[in-house]
Amino acid sequence: MIPTHDSRQTRQRSPTTRVKTTVQQHEISNQRMPLAVYREVAAHLRQVAGVEAVLLPQTSQVFDYQQSQVGGLQFQYTDAADAATRQRVAQILQYYGDRYGAWITR
């Protein structure tokens, strides 16, 4: 029988191939913003390199037509994000904040 060799077990990575990713996570909400607009904001943020965004579920036990159907928006910067990325995110959030009210940091 020929012994098998799994190169994945013995492969050594050089220090230059290791990448440490630092994530800076933020959670914001806007009680007046409709679900469709939250989706638009998340999609808009995802188009910025170095930014990831997801919608948070609503945690209220009581349905209220006057409140948003979304609990909030979570977005994060990766190491690829630079000052221009942060400025673009701030512009996007300001645009929607001007139309639907101030964002609340969670």
- Residue 62 is part of a domain; what is its CATH number? 3.30.70
Q: Assess if residue 16 is contained within a domain.
A: no
Q: Assess if residue 85 is contained within a domain.
A: yes
Q: Assess if residue 4 is contained within a domain.
A: no
CA distance 101 to 58: 18
Q: What is the pTM of this model?
A: 0.74
Q: What is the pLDDT of residues 22-69, one digit of tens each?
A: 667 999 999 888 889 999 999 999 999 999 999 999 888 887 776 678
CA distance 13 to 22: 20
In total, how many domains does the chain have?
A: 1
Expressed as residue numbers, the domain containing 69 is: 21-105
Q: Assess if residue 10 is contained within a domain.
A: no
